[in-house]
Amino acid sequence: MTLNVGERLTKPLYKIYEKWLWLQIKNGPFPRHIGVIPDGNRRWAREKGLDIVNGHYYGYTKIKEVLKWIWELKIPYVTLFAMSTENCLYRSPEEKQNLFNIIKNGLEELISLRELHENKVRIKIVGNLDLVPEELREIARKAEEATSKYSNYTLTIALCYGGRQEIIEAVRKIVEDAVSNQLNPSEITEELFLKYLPTGEIPDLDLIIRTSGEERISNFLLWHSAYSELYFCDVYWPEFRKIDFWRAIRSYQRRERRFGR
């Protein structure tokens, strides 16, 4: 592909800026757990004159790229907000099916990805999987089983997930155990409550990155985001660049984390 004059000028400048950013962040500290809300696929597709399906597909290819950037920094935990409960309930049947197909194919690709096994990445799927097709549930189980013994990194995929729903389900289980005398209410602590959450094994989120200019967390890991640093980026997810990611890391490094103290 031939680059036009603007691209020929911009490319070296981008590389210089990228190196300058790296010098600023390379010594850390880096977050232990990053949450990603990859927003803007549909708007990006519409502005490009593309079908929404293309937006979701390009969004998926960007996820693969961003995961490599995260693992390059040796950040052990990342959680991707693939689909919310509302997405699974209220998007059109056609769009949902297309999303489910992309996620299914993505999980199949992940299982066979050499870097995944070299890096010992454990895959964890959380959310209401009763809302997804059986073939997707099956590949989700296979992905978890194939990586269950890995512990260097954890990739959590929130699928048909809602933070409020997760907390309500945990409360329901606690009440059931209390009624059946398996649990004394006086024993309930934050540590115990965590054990009832499907996401309880992962640590609290240090940094949440959301693209597309929206400034909210949209019911994403509510328990784990109590003291998260939030970074909102104007760019649509398919156009998210390494410099955008590194800017988020730089912003995180410049903040003083007090955890409510």
b/e code 26-50 from CB counts within 10 Å (16+ = b): eeeebbebbbbbbbbbbbbbeeeee
Active-site option among 4, 27, 39, 54: 39
For 181, the 3-state DSSP assignment is coil
Active-site option among 27, 51, 54, 87: 87
39 is catalytic: yes
152 is catalytic: no
**Residue 239 exposed, middle or buried by CB count within 10 Å (0-12, 13-18, 19+):** middle
The amino acid sitting at 104 is K
CA torsion angle for 156, 100, 216, 218 (degrees, to 10)? Answer: -80
- Angle (CA) 59 61 67, round 5°: 100
Q: Where in the sequence numbering do the catalytic residues fall?
A: 39, 87
